[in-house]
């Protein structure tokens, strides 16, 4: 397939500066991983702002190797190691040292573990909250093979937001995702969180994989049927030539259209939508921060998030 040239709206500056260097040093000192680095996120430099701004960072728990092989993801597959029992405390210490006021926890899939790592994930949430109850904690969780008791361990740890990504429309689940993932399974995870708690739910959809507009609309409708609160849209970017090809680079105007559909027509609380948006994108955290910490109305929180993100 002919290589597609990236349009100008996808060009980003590489991360740099003392703040970036300090954060990276803290993470290495504690042997911690972030999805920001492992997945080569283009927004890394923007989000790692800590005390100098509305800091966010996405820690990747349970190692840097995944038991699944999704064809869009740059995280390595296989060769998983035993869990580090000190990781929950190390993450909490790093959060305090960096000065984060909003932290996102995600993880690799660990289908090799008895509870797929749910207990370890939950303990990390509790450790952060124990040290500073004022920190907002968002978790981006695996599907835990759709096992309700494992999802419940995350719910019982009481994070502020539980996210699980449906990634793409139903037709494209394979080959985009590992065959052990699934559209209905992901919807069931999100529905369980809504049914069993008052925790805000969130998901993310990639565009540019060959989806049709009517399929995107159906996916949004299904997510609202599951009472998902927040959705993000971003451009799929090919991590390497061994990953799925980009079908198309979606124009920013299309992303804006989907934002309006999600918020104005389907009544999602918030939608962050743009080519460079990722599931742990800063604008989403700014919305939740304004809603939960500041007590703003939904509309005020939307406006604050867009103003801070320069939208």
List the binding residues.
36, 41, 47, 66, 70, 73, 280
Residue 141: both structure tokens together: 């969780």
d(CA 109, CA 83): 12
What burial letters (b/e) apply to 209-224, b meaning 16+ CB within 10 Å? Answer: bbbeeeebbebbebbb
What residue has token string 């096992």? Answer: 147
Known binding-site positions for [4Fe-4S] cluster? 36, 41, 47, 66, 70, 73, 280
* β-strands 230-235, 33-34 pairing: unpaired
Per-position DSSP letters for 220-259, written without gaps between them: HHHHHHTT--EEEEEE---SSTTSPPP-----HHHHHHHH
In three-state secondary structure terms, 58 is strand
Report whether 167 contacts 177 (CB < 8 A): yes
Give the residue from 107, 111, 242 showing the smallest Cα distance to 180. Answer: 111
Peptide bond just before 285 cis, omega within 30 deg: no
* β-strands 76-77, 65-66 pairing: parallel
Q: Which uninterrupted H or E stretch holds 117?
A: none
Helix axes 18-29, 87-98, angle to 10 degrees: 160
Q: Which uninterrupted H or E stretch holds 163?
A: strand 161-163
């Amino acid at each position: 397939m002919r290589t597609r040239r990236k349009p100008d709206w996808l060009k980003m500056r590489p991360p740099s500066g003392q703040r970036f260097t300090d954060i990276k040093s803290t993470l290495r000192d504690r042997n911690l991983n972030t999805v920001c680095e492992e997945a080569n996120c283009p927004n890394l430099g923007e989000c790692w702002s800590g005390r100098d701004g509305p800091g966010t960072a996405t820690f990747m728990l349970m190692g840097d190797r995944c038991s699944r092989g999704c064809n869009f993801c740059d995280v390595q597959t296989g060769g998983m190691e035993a869990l580090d029992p000190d990781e929950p405390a190390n993450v909490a210490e790093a959060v305090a040292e960096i000065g984060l006021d909003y932290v996102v926890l995600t993880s690799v899939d660990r289908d090799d573990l008895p509870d797929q790592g749910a207990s370890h994930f939950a303990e990390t949430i509790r450790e952060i909250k124990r040290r500073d109850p004022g920190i907002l904690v968002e978790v981006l969780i695996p599907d835990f093979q759709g096992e309700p008791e494992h999802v419940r361990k995350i719910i019982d740890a009481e994070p502020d937001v539980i996210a699980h990504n449906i990634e793409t429309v139903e037709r494209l689940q394979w080959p985009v995702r590992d065959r052990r993932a699934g559209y209905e399974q992901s919807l069931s995870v999100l529905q369980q969180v809504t049914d069993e708690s008052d925790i805000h739910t969130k998901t993310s959809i990639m565009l540019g994989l060959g989806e049709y507009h009517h399929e995107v609309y159906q996916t949004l409708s299904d997510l609202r049927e599951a009472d998902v609160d927040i959705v993000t849209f971003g451009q799929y970017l090919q991590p390497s030539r061994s990953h799925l090809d980009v079908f198309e680079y979606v124009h920013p105007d299309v992303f804006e259209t989907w934002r309006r559909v999600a918020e104005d027509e389907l009544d999602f609380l918030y939608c962050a939508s743009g080519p460079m948006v990722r599931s742990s994108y800063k604008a989403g955290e700014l919305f939740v921060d304004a809603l939960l910490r500041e007590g703003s109305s939904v509309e005020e929180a939307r406006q604050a998030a867009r103003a801070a993100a320069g939208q």
